[in-house]
Amino acid sequence: MVSVRFGLSFLPDCKPEMKSPQTYFSDALELSVQAELGGLDSVKMTEHYLHHYGGYCPSPLGFLSAVAARTSSVRLITGCVLPVFHHPIQLAAEAAQLDALSGGRLDVGFARAYLPDEFDALGVPMDESNDRYRETIRAVRRIWTEENVTEQTPFFSYRDVTGRPRPTQQPHPPMWGAAVRTPENFAWLGTEGLGLLITPMISPHEFRGQLDLYRDAFQVAHGGSGLRPRVAASLPLVVAETDEQAEQIAETYLRRYLDVWAEAVSPWDRRESSAYRGYSGFGWMLRGLKPSKLFTEGGAIVGSPATVIDRIRAFNHHIGGVDQILWQIDFGAMPLPEARQTLELFCDQVLPEVKSL
């Protein structure tokens, strides 16, 4: 049996008429405090701009600072910051500040970004995103661990830089990277020694081969070093007293979640990029996806406590095992009472049965 850790994953997907920014963050902070009290290990937040999908949170570090002030033990995970839109000196310093404020509870997850409107509005060429992403991650790690750092890249340059503040965790906060479709990105994260963040959108089966790529690359680069690969999966969760009640809640709010997501990725319906193979038509795919397909094939976990226990075990088996599962429990601008019900039932009735999978 393998010990698995559990946490919460937030990504605002609110239209203002459903939840104001103030209400969204008030709810998210209440759920974060309740998660710690219920025995969960972490809280994760994602960076996005402009759209109802994620646009309420341009700064995961800002949100996690508020969580840090209200909690004492949960890990704080950026899931993810988008380094293509940040200078590495700024990103390293702001993350180290939160590491200090939280007493060394920060994990930093990075993602490449993939929404065309964000790149267009911020003036960053999409075709450069992979190189910017990798160069910025490497630069942030150097700023955290070295002094008098010099960099000369096509995207940023500086001489003899020593970052302040220094990280509280040594040599630096745990680092993660998100990967979705591109096999080379899974292998790169393994070679770099980062943890892997995934969101199995439809079925866990689709990720099993990519996880093998990641773990194999990690072993080649770091075997014998004492480092080990780490995989965290984020997916929606609904727990109710009966399967029927849970499925009714999931149908309503997963549809809203998919619709808001589809709106944000709709530029891919008329756009192509050599840096994003397979993304064209993304919006059409999401609009045609039935919510029930997610929870019948494992891309969401929905049901009574007993059903959820079985489905978590099946998910972990089909995907080949993960170290951590981060639950989206407020998707679709779900009202706080429904999200709180899921969290309470999970912590009280499910968590004791699934800590070892």
Instruction: Tell me, letter by letter, the H, E, C secondary structure of the chain.
Output: CCECEEEEEECCECCCCCCCHHHHHHHHHHHHHHHHHCCCCEEEECCCCCCCECCCCCCHHHHHHHHHHHCCCCEEEEEEECHHHCCHHHHHHHHHHHHHHCCCCEEEEECCCCCHHHHHHHCCCHHHHHHHHHHHHHHHHHHHHCCCEEEECCCCEEEEECCCCCCCCCCCCCEEEECCCCHHHHHHHHHHCCEEEECCCCCCHHHHHHHHHHHHHHHHHHCCCCCCCCEEEEEEEEECCCHHHHHHHHHHHHHHHHHHHHHHHHHHHHCCCCCCCCCCCHHHHHHCCCHHHHHHHCCCEEECHHHHHHHHHHHHHHHCCCCEEEEECCHHHCCHHHHHHHHHHHHHHHHHHHCEC
pLDDT at 201 over 80: no
Q: Rounded CA gap, 218 and 189, in Å?
A: 8
Options 3.40.1800.10, 3.30.450.20, 3.30.70.1350, 3.20.20.30; CATH for 5-354 is: 3.20.20.30
Residue 6 binned pLDDT confidence (cut-offs 50, 70, 90): very high
pLDDT at 81: 98
Alpha-carbon distances of 200 from 62, 93, 289, 315, 319, rounded to whole Å: 27, 32, 14, 10, 9
Cis ω on the peptide bond leading into residue 171 (within 30° of 0)?
A: yes
Residue 1 binned pLDDT confidence (cut-offs 50, 70, 90): low
Chain segment 237-254, per-residue pLDDT in tens? 999 999 999 999 999 999
Q: Rounded CA gap, 264 and 118, in Å?
A: 10
pLDDT at 182: 82
* Averaged pLDDT score across all residues of the chain: 95
Residue 265 binned pLDDT confidence (cut-offs 50, 70, 90): very high
Q: Rounded CA gap, 246 and 301, in Å?
A: 10
pLDDT at 275: 85
Is the pLDDT higher at 2 or at 56?
56
Chain segment 27-55, per-residue pLDDT in tens? 999 999 999 999 999 999 999 999 999 99
Lookup result for tokens 């993939």? 114
Sign of CA dihedral 262, 264, 267, 268: negative
Residue 277 binned pLDDT confidence (cut-offs 50, 70, 90): confident
Q: 151 pairs with which residues across the strands?
A: 158
- What's the mean pLDDT in 316-329? 95
Chain segment 217-239, per-residue pLDDT in tens? 999 999 999 999 999 999 999 99
- Which residues, including other chains, have CB under 8 Å from residue 156's CB and lie 6 or more apart? 87, 88, 135, 136, 139
Chain segment 170-199, per-residue pLDDT in tens? 999 999 999 987 889 999 999 999 999 999
pLDDT at 209 over 80: yes
Q: Do the Cβ atoms of 99 and 169 come closer than 8 Å?
A: yes
Chain segment 338-348, per-residue pLDDT in tens? 999 999 999 99
What percent of the chain clears pLDDT 90, i.e. is strictly above it?
A: 86
Chain segment 50-77, per-residue pLDDT in tens? 999 999 999 999 999 999 999 999 999 9
Instruction: Indicate yes or no: pTM above 0.85.
Output: yes
Establish how many alpha carbons lie within 13 A of residue 78's alpha carbon, considering only the half-sphere containing its beta carbon. Answer: 30
Chain segment 121-152, per-residue pLDDT in tens? 999 999 999 999 999 999 999 999 999 999 99
